[in-house]
Amino acid sequence: MNARRRVAITGIGMVTPVGCNAPTTWASLLAGRSGVGPIRQFDASGFPVRIGAEVKAVPSEATLCDPRLLKFASRSHRFALAAAGEALADAGIRPLADNSHRWGLAVGAGMLGVTFSEFQAVHAFCVPDGEFNPDGLLNPGYPADPVAFCRSQTNAGLGLLARQFGITGYATSVHTACASGGQALGTALKVIRRGLADFMLAGGYDSMLHPIGLSAFCLLGALSTDNDTPEQASRPFDATRNGFVLGEGAGFLVLEEWQAARARGARIYAELAGDGNSLSSYRITDSHPSGDGPIQAMQQALADAQASVESADYVNAHGTSTLMNDRSECAALRAVMGGHIGKVAVSSTKSCMGHLISAAGAVEAGICALAIRDSIAPVNANLVQTDPDCDLNIVRGQSRPMRIRVAMSNSFGFGGSNSCLVFRQPDGAGEP
Amino acid sequence: METSSPVAITGLGAVCGAGLTVEAIWNAIQSGKSAIAPITQWDASRWPRRQAAEVTGVSNATLVPDRKYHKFLSRTDLFGLYAADAALQQSGLIAYRDRMDAASAPRFNDRSGVFVGSGGCVYQNSYDFFPALTAASGDLRAFGRHIESCVNPMWLLTRLPNNVLCYTGIRHSFKGTNACITNQCVGGALAIAEAAAAIRSCEADRAVATGHDAPIEPESLWYYHQAGLLSQDLLRPFDCSRTGTIFGEGAASLVLENEPDARGRQARVHGELLGSGCSTEATGIVAVRPDGDGLSRAIKLALADANLPPDRVGVVVAHGNGTVASDASEAMAIRRVFGKNPPPVTAFKWAVGHTIAASGALDVVLALTALKQGVVPGIATLECLDPQLAPLPVSREPQSPRSDIALVLNRGFGGMNVALVVRAPGGSTST
């Protein structure tokens, strides 16, 4: 008998461009509603790309956290606090004083912690005539705000989440660009299996929709320039796709050791059954066209879940809507699925909500769990003319009611980290 | 593989202000020499805090000879790649893999993991956008129009936190399980812990684990000073006149392998990773609990993971960052775990500065060296142990480890605490 600990998903929380919580997000995705539009949170009219997938309803401050912590929370931290709080409420369980050390945290954190106004202040004092002079910081007028210092630390989000929810066990923060959220969940799975925790609050959060974040992706030429048709800009697997849409948000799951979850009568969405983790070691921005790198991640995840290829019913693709990713991801899927490729349903929910970068893998894991619960695969929106290289069984037109025994979620990041997570429908007996 | 199986350490690499090799850094520490000196990266002569342990006199080409990397990597990344290259070189793994037949190498590569604890310039990274803001005279609309003519199109790729992960993989064809940990100070220590855990769980057969950081930048220096965290002159762990920490920079790397593989290829084994523990105090971002609770829990978890009682520990390499609060709570944690008879305690940040994300990895490399040499170096800046922390077996003079096992402590923002337990056979006169 396999004595390895299994992991249940018992709570889901999300703040996304298509909904301020998980149920609203899920309803929007099933309906194929787009969250992409002109950027409103700052004046983006001078930028080459002026569209994004913004969170429309920023979580109400009163509900987020201890008011004393609020000022330390950046925009993406607020998303995280809201989504994590929702996940815990959804699971109906919280860390308590006597078990807080058996709770852990694993988060995929966004990379830029400085606000544009802080950046402007440094410029004003230190770059008076084009040359950077650090002595400008010594000027008594320079507002060196200790709160801004705390907020900009790479693990500030982790620290805030641990304090807000009283988690004192294993805690880690990771960043592998677009794979961050998936790898955070994979780490959480492993931490429970290793016996280091019985509960994990795991997820990802990001907001690069600010002048420097937007600039960064514009400069790379990675974004769709369809400023006049924002809702169709993100069109994964379409022959005319021309880049991704930058989004923002957060997604969190509550993960629990399986036996304990069943014993307390928890509602289990799905089992987080397998994790596959590889490095493409090819180029910083993309995988080999053959799909080498992602192939290993998917194969390892299925093997880790002890799931056959034939049992995989749905894949939530990385599907960024870039030329390179979508093509190499489809090549990878063909290599992994073999003869089953025509049967497995594939969709990218980035078609509706854009690319949430460090949050993407975590939100998309929640989507897989919901898909299993409701036996429906969310639509891949905006697919009008399928790229012949991407001609898989894509869920086009509308969401597809179907039984989902095993689902997979892919997240492939700049820098070559590839994450694949496998989810399994919980059966009545809860046996492996 | 059982959770308590040791993992072999078959390669070490390090670079910091005290030297470009493990041996050079060790020799500096043994001779009481600190790399802390006035900052040279910018003119800090008018600054209230102007000291750091910089890596000086080393060109980018020395760190990573292939010049194409210099265009798209920053200094912290070059440190990390350099340390990983050195550790892998010492391990002999690449030469071993290159002797394999073509059919075996892909599986070898897929079973070789990479773990990185990453850090760099939090604020300075965005300064590349200053020219656009200048050209735009501060107007946001104009800023957007100027970025393409003012900023390197690859900017984002030059600043990715996971560059060392990416390029360690590319340079050595390691394609297995991986992580880039952005957990501030404890990143390097966690990279080692997770690499070892991956090997024990058979997710990988081997892994290179690296911690790297280059935190010395004006805004960080200014913020830390405002927060009262920086010393003006010396870094004095546990001393009654300690006033704060001082930044260092650099990287350290270990190659870890499952023991049967290491034996099978007759690798030189430098030591073993026996266990690890990680906890958070949930105190927010910068605060630490005065009672050292998080650290003592991490130590107990690490000892349990190593299946060892406290009295088997031969030396404690403390975090010893020189701040009033952290050193005090650390002393409490050590006392809580070890009671009345703790083993010798030392710390290395007085010599190499606080290298933030690299610190835990660097301390592990130095702990292994100390065990092999059979010497616990003294803390050269210790003049008078803070009586509030006594008794604590720290000394200016060298001590002897009581066994071949070291406990390494590492702490960071977020109330983070990590403890690692390593073993290395003593009696060697070479590093």
Tally C-beta pairs within 8 A across A and B: 272
Catalytic residue among A318, A352, A390, A420: A318
Query: Is A431 inside a domain boundary?
Result: no
**Amino acid B5: pLDDT:** 80
Judge: A168–B282 Cβ closer than 8 Å, yes or no. yes
- Minimal Cα–Cα distance from A147 to chain B, Å? 10
Taking the CA of residue B131 and the nearest CA in chain A, the distance in Å comes to 7
Name which of A109, A156, A414 is nearest B160 (Cβ-Cβ). Answer: A414
Q: Which of A178, A330, A352, A420 is catalytic?
A: A178
Cα–Cα distance for residue pair A279/A288, rounded to 1 Å: 11
Residue of A172, A178, A200 to mutate, interface with B, max B Cβ within 10 Å: A172
A150 included as an active-site residue: no
Number of domains within chain B:
2
Please give, rounded to a whole number of angstroms, the shortest distance from the CA of B223 to a CA of chain A.
6
Distance CA A217, CA B206 (A): 35
> Which residue range(s) make up the domain with B52?
7-119+161-423
pLDDT at residue A429 greater than cutoff 50: no
Instruction: Tell me the backbone φ, ψ of residue B201, rounded to 5 degrees.
Output: -85, 5
Candidate list A355, A368, A390, A420, residue with the active-site label: A355
Q: Do B286 and A138 touch (CB under 8 A)?
A: no
Residues B146 and B293 in one domain: no
User: Which residues, 6+ apart, have CB-to-CB distance to B258 below 8 Å?
Assistant: B1, B7, B8, B199, B205, B206
CB distance B118 to B212 below 8 Å: yes
Average pLDDT over residues A293-310: 97
Domain annotation covers residue B430: no
Boundaries of domain holding A137: 116-150
Tell me if B428 is assigned to some domain.
Answer: no
Q: Report yes or no on B429 lying in a domain.
A: no
* pLDDT band with cut points at 50, 70 and 90 for residue B4: low
Q: Choose from B50, B115, B175 for mutation: most chain A CBs within 10 A.
A: B175
Q: B-chain residues within 8 Å CB-CB of A150?
A: 284-286
Same domain, B147 and B290: no
Cβ atoms within 10 A of the Cβ of A163, count? Answer: 23
Residues B224, B107 share a domain:
yes
Amino acid at B156: L
Task: Give yes or no: residues B184 and B165 share one domain.
Answer: yes
Whether residue B333 sits in one domain with residue B310: yes
- Interchain contact, A120 vs B133, CB within 8 Å: yes
Tell whether A78 and A61 lie within a shared domain: yes
Of A47, A123, A153, the CB nearest to B285: A153
Tell me, what's the pLDDT at A427? 81
| Test mutation, B165, B280, B291, B411, chain A, max A CBs within 10 A | B280
A1 has a pLDDT exceeding 50: no
pLDDT in tens, A216-251: 999 999 999 999 999 999 999 999 999 999 999 999
**pLDDT band for position B427 (cuts 50, 70, 90):** low
Same domain, B189 and B301: yes
Contact yes or no for A155 and B183 at CB 8 A: yes
Q: Are residues B45 and B69 in the same domain?
A: yes
Q: Do A103 and A157 belong to one domain?
A: yes
Could you tell me if A391 and A373 lie in one domain? Answer: yes
How far CA B126 is from CA of A50, A114, A152, B263, B373, in Å, comes to 21, 9, 13, 47, 44
Asked whether the predicted pLDDT for residue B380 surpasses 90, the reply is: yes
Can you give the CATH number for the domain in which A160 is found?
Answer: 3.40.47.10
Q: Which of B375, B289, B256 is nearest to B8 (CA)?
A: B256
Point out the residue among A111, A122, A215 whose CB comes nearest to the CB of B161. Answer: A111
Q: Which of A97, A128, A150 is the last residue of a domain?
A: A150
A285: closest chain B residue by CA: B157
Report CB contact under 8 Å: A159, B166: no
Six token digits for residue A115: 């606000």
Task: State whether A220 and A236 are in the same domain.
Answer: yes
User: Contact at 8 Å (CB) between B410 and B420?
Assistant: yes
Residues B97 and B132 in one domain: no
Q: What is the mean pLDDT of residues A249-259?
A: 98
Is the pLDDT reported for residue B429 higher than 50? no
Do A94 and A133 fall into the same domain? no
Domain assignment present for residue A230? The answer is yes
Note whether B64 and B134 are same-domain residues: no
Give contacts of B173 with chain A, Cβ < 8 Å. Answer: 281
Task: Choose among A432, A298, A328: nearest CA to A390.
Answer: A328
Q: Are residues A200 and A287 in the same domain?
A: yes
Is residue A248 a part of any domain in this protein? yes
Query: What residue in A sits closest to B143 (Cα-Cα)?
Result: A46
Q: Is the pLDDT of residue B108 over 60?
A: yes
What is the bridge-based pairing of β-strands A199-207 and A270-279? unpaired
Q: Determine contact, residues A218/A47, Cβ cutoff 8 Å.
A: yes
3-state secondary structure of B258: coil
Task: Please indicate, yes or no, if residue A251 is contained in any of the structural domains.
Answer: yes
Q: Per the structure block, which two tokens stand in for A318?
A: 């990385």
Residue B273 banded pLDDT, cuts 50, 70, 90:
very high
Q: Within a domain: residue B1? A: no
Secondary structure (3-state) at B96 = helix
Examine the domain organization and report whether A101 and A210 are in the same domain: yes
> Which amino acid is present at B152?
N
Q: What is the pLDDT of residues B343-378, one digit of tens each?
A: 999 999 999 999 999 999 999 999 999 999 999 999
Same domain for B93 and B148, yes or no, is no
Quick check: B175 and A281 CB within 8 A? yes
Q: B151 contacts in A (CB within 8 Å)?
A: 215, 219
Task: Let me know if residue A430 belongs to a domain.
Answer: no
Amino acid B415 reads G
pLDDT in tens, B181-238: 999 999 999 999 999 999 999 999 999 999 999 999 999 999 999 999 999 999 999 9
Query: Do A142 and A160 fall into the same domain?
Result: no
How many CA atoms lie within 13 Å of B317's alpha carbon, on the beta-carbon side? 31
Chain A environment of B46 (Cβ under 8 Å): 135, 138
Q: Which of B134, B181, B218 faces A174 most closely, judged by CB atoms?
A: B181
In chain A, how many domains are there? 2
Strand, coil or helix: what is A422? strand
**Residue B199 lies inside a defined structural domain of this protein:** yes
Question: Is A429 inside any structural domain?
Answer: no
CA distance A264 to A242: 49
* pTM of the predicted model over 0.90: yes
**Same domain as A314, residue A302:** yes
Q: Are residues B138 and B219 in the same domain?
A: no
Residue numbers in A near B126 (CB within 8 A):
112, 114, 119, 212
Do A121 and A108 lie in one domain? The reply is no
Whether A210 is catalytic: no
Average pLDDT over residues A271-278: 98
What is the signed CA dihedral for B98, B100, B103, B104, rounded to 10 degrees? -100
Query: Tokens representing A308?
Result: 């056959």
Q: Are residues A144 and A34 in the same domain?
A: no
Determine, for residues A194 and B201 on separate chains, whether the beta-carbon distance falls below 8 Å: yes
Q: Which residue of B has its CA nearest to A174?
A: B181
Chain B residues near residue A135 by CB distance under 8 angstroms: 43, 46-47
Tokens 């989507």 belong to A367
The verdict on B397 and B271 lying in the same domain is: yes
Using a CB-CB cut-off of 8 Å, the residues of chain A touching B227 are: 146, 149
What is the least distance, in Å, from the CA of B120 to any CA of chain A? 10
Q: CATH code at B264?
A: 3.40.47.10
What does the pLDDT average to over A5-16? 98
Chain B hits for A137, Cβ within 8 Å: 218-219, 222
Are A93 and A12 part of one and the same domain?
A: yes
